[in-house]
Chains A and B, each alone.
Chain A
Amino acid sequence: MEQTRTLFDKIWDNHIVRPENSSTPAVLYVDLHLVHEVTSPQAFAELRSRGVRVRRPDLTLATMDHSTPTTPRSAGRLQVLDTQAATQLAQLQRNCDEFGIRLFGLDDMRQGIVHVIGPEQGLTQPGMTIVCGDSHTSTHGAFGALAFGIGTSEVGYVLATQTLLQRKPRNMEVRIDGILPRGVTAKDIILAVIARIGIGGATGHVLEYTGSAIRSLGMEERMTICNMSIEAGARAGLVAPDDTTFEYIAGRPFAPKGADWDAAIVGWRALTPDENASYDRSVHLDAASLAPMITFGTNPSMAIPIDGRVPDPTAAASSAERTDLDNALHYMALEPGQPLLGRTVDVVFVGSCTNSRISDLRQAAAVMRGRRVAPGVRMLVVPGSRAVKREAEAEGLDRVFKDAGAEWREAGCSMCIAMNGDQLQPGQSAVSTSNRNFEGRQGKGGRTFLASPLTAAATAVSGAIADVRALS
C-alpha cells in the first residue's frame, strides 16, 4: 500500500538531493535563499576565505531591514544609527556586488522586512524550500512553502552549495475549525496556539495548520500565524495552498506569467495533504472559543485572553514552571491575579514581520480613525516594506495615524529587534504587534505585551491596555 503523505512530506520529498540514512542527514535543495545584513557578513567572509563562489546568485535575494533606521528620510536619505550599523550595511552592499546577488538596498523602492518582501514580490511560491538567517522565515509557510530559519554557518553552506544537511523533522497538525468571533484575529489564534503548545512544545516539528478557520483566512493573516510557529519551537509552519494563495500571487513581479502560470497552478493544486495523511501529533482549537489574546510574561507562550487575569505561579504544574512565572512577573512588574485591562503603557508599536502588512495597518487605522493617541503614549506605526508604505499612503492610512498623533515611519524591523535606534527605555511598557516579549527584546529593561494590531490601536487611544470589542 502506498504511504499517505502530508503536505510537508511532499515538499520534503521533492527537494531531496541525497536521502538521509543512519549516518548522514539528507542533502536538501533550497529554492530561494533570502539574505539580510545581520546574519550574513561572517558567511560571506567564509566563502571568501575558501575561495568559493555563490553557487546560485539567481536563487538568492538580499535586503536590509534589521539595523536600518525607520526615522523619516531627510532629502530622500536615511540617517543610519551608528558606524557599526553603517559598516554592516556597507558590507552587505559589497558582498552582493562581489558575489553577484540582487540587493533591495535602502534606496530601492522594494526594500523592506525580508519576510514581507518575499511574498510581496511574488518570490514566495507554493512547494518551494526557502531559508534565511532569521527564525521568522517560517512566515513563508503560509504559501505552502517549507521555510525555516538557519544560522550563519548554514547561510554559508547555502550560498556555497544551495543545499543543507537536514534530518527530517516530525510533523504536527494544528487544526482550527469554526468561525472567529468579532475582534479576534490571526494574531490571537497564534498566541492561543503557542499558549496551548508551550514555548518549546513544537521543538523538532513542522506545524501544518488545517481546518475551516485557517481556510477562511487571507494570505496576510496566514503569514501572521506561520510567522510565530517558531515561538512554539517549531522548525516551520505550513498552510496548504488554495485559491486564496493563487489569487494573492497572481500578477506579482516574480510570479509565473502566461503558460508558466497555468502550469504552476496545476502543480500547486497537488500540494495538499493526502486524505487520511497521518501526523505525529495533532492539536485542535475551536475558533469560536477564542478571545483577543495578550502576553503577560517574558516568552510568547505566556499569553491570556485580554479580559483574563495574570496567572498565579503557585498554581504552576512544576517548580521549574513556577520559577519561570515568578521571574516573568517580577520582570514585568505584575502581580498574580491582576487584570491587564487598564494597565497603562508608554509605547504602542505596530509593525514587524508578524503584523506590518497592509491589512494589519488597515485594521489599526480603522480603530484610530477619528480618535487620538492618548496623552503620554508614544505610538509608532512601521510599515513592513516601502511598498506597504506607498500602498498605505495611497489609501490615506498615514493621515489617519498622523492625525491621531502617531509616528509614521520608514520600513524596517524597528522596535521588534531594537538594534536600529527604535527601542524602549528601561522600565517602559509597550503593547506591540511583534513576535517576542523576551526580557529586553525591545530595549534593555523594556516590558513587552504582545497583541494584535486591533488591540494595539485600542490601547493607543485608551492610554492603557484595552479590549477592542469594548470600543464603540
Chain B
Amino acid sequence: MSTPPDKSQRIEPFTTLTSPCVVLPAENVDTDQIIPARFLKTVERRGLGAHLFADWRVDEDGNLRAGFPLNRPPAADASILVAGHNFGCGSSREHAPWALLDFGFRAVISTGFADIFRNNAIKTGLLPVTLAPSAHGTLLELLGASPRAQVTIDLASQTVTLPGGSSHTFPIDPFAHHCLLNGVDEMGFLLAEDSAITDYELAHPARVCTR
C-alpha cells in the first residue's frame, strides 16, 4: 500500500488558461451525445476525442457536418467549450470528460452541470466553470460577434475574463479547487485515510459478503 502514486496517472494541474472557445449553446446536452455508447467498448482512456459528439459532427455518409461548431476553424485551437445549461446529464460514463480532454478541451463553461459529469470532470482534470446566466449570456454575445476572441480562466482566483475585459467569479468546491490547482488525485488522498477507514470497519461490521 506504500507504493508512491505513479506520476503519469496524476491529473494535470490547472492554473490559468487563455484560449479561443467553441460554442455549443444547446441545453441539457447528455453524455450519450458527448460520446455515444457504441464507443464505450474500449478498455482505454485515450483515443475517444475522435468520437467526441460523433453523431452531431459526422453525417450519415461519414462526412463532417460543416455547420457543427466543432468542425469550424476556431475549434482546432480552442481549449474551452462554452455550453448550455445542465451540461453532461444522463449516463455516468467518464468517457465523456475523457473524450473532451482527448479532443483538446481543458475547461467547459456553462450555467450548470449535471452532478456526475461535474464530479468526473474534476477527477480527470477538466475544469467545469459555472457562470451566472447574465455573464454566460454576455459571453455568448461576445463570442457571437467575435468567434475567435479569447477567454481567460484563472483557477486560483476563480475568475473568467471575457473578451471585453470584464471579469466574473465562479464557484468551485474548495477541495476540487485544491486538487485541480495542484494536480492532486483523490485516490492518493483516500489511500492516506487508511487508518480511519480501518477504524470505521472495526466499528461497523459488513452488512453483506459477496463471496
Contacts and interface: CB of A to CB of B under 8 A. Distances in A.
Interface of A: 14, 17-18, 22-25, 27, 29, 31-32, 38-39, 41-42, 45-46, 49-53, 55-61, 66-67, 82, 84-85, 87-88, 91, 101-102, 123, 125, 127-128, 133-135, 149-154, 156-157, 160-165, 167, 169, 199-200, 203-204, 230-231, 233, 235, 254, 299, 320-321, 323-324, 327, 417-419, 426, 436, 438-441, 444-445
Given A29-B204, A58-B206, A59-B210, A154 B119 contact: yes
Interface stretch (B1-9, B99-107, B151-159): B1-9
B171 to A, nearest CB: 12
B33 to A, nearest CB: 6
Contacts of B43: 41-42, 45, 87-88, 91
A162 B115 CA distance: 21
A417 B114 contact: no
Given A56-B206, A135-B116, 4 more contacts: A27-B197, A31-B206, A52-B187, A440-B55
Contacts of A233: 86, 89, 114-115
Nearest to A416: B37
A123 B207 CA distance: 9
CB-CB nearest 3 A-B residue pairs: A151-B120, A200-B86, A151-B94
Contacts of B196: 17-18, 27
17 contacts: A18-B193, A18-B196, A24-B175, A27-B190, A29-B200, A29-B201, A56-B206, A58-B209, A58-B211, A154-B123, A161-B190, A199-B89, A203-B114, A235-B115, A254-B209, A438-B30, A440-B32
Interface string B57-85: 00010000000000000000000000011
Contact of A203 (B86, B92, B120): B86
B174 interface: yes
A52 B114 contact: no
Contacts of A60: 210
Contacts of B3: 50-52
A17 B210 contact: no
B18 interface: no
Contacts of A150: 92, 116, 119
A42 B44 contact: yes
Contacts of B174: 22-24
A165 B210 contact: no
Contacts of A230: 90
Interface in B9-61: 9, 26-28, 30, 32-33, 36-38, 40-45, 55, 60
Nearest to A417: B37
Contacts of A160: 187, 190-191
Given A42-B44, A52-B3, A440 B197 contact: no
A44 to B, nearest CB: 9
Nearest to B206: A59
Contact of A324 (B27, B92, B200): B27
Nearest to A299: B28
B11 to A, nearest CB: 9
Nearest to B178: A23
Contacts of A91: 43
B186 interface: yes
Contact of A25 (B8, B116, B175): B175
A457 B209 CA distance: 39
A200 B118 CA distance: 13
A128 B199 CA distance: 18
Nearest to A234: B115
A160 B187 CA distance: 8
B89 A200 contact: yes
A199 B115 CA distance: 12
Contact of B112 (A61, A133, A162, A203): A203
A52 B192 CA distance: 12
B145 interface: no
A149 B116 contact: yes
B202 to A, nearest CB: 12
Contacts of B189: 165
B197 A200 contact: no
Contacts of B201: 29, 162
A167 B122 CA distance: 14
A56 B123 CA distance: 22
Contacts of A23: 174-175, 178
Contacts of A58: 206, 209-211
Contacts of A59: 206, 208-210
Contacts of A135: 90-92, 116
B117 to A, nearest CB: 8
Contacts of B26: 323-324, 327
B178 A46 contact: no
A418 to B, nearest CB: 6
B81 to A, nearest CB: 17
Interface in B161-206: 173-175, 178, 186-187, 189-191, 193-194, 196-197, 199-201, 204, 206
Contact of A32 (B37, B208, B211): B208
A67 B114 CA distance: 25
Contacts of A440: 32-33, 36, 55
A153 B28 contact: no
B119 A324 contact: no
Given A22-B174, A42-B43, A162 B197 contact: yes
A76 B175 CA distance: 51
B148 interface: no
Contacts of B197: 17, 27, 29, 55, 161-163
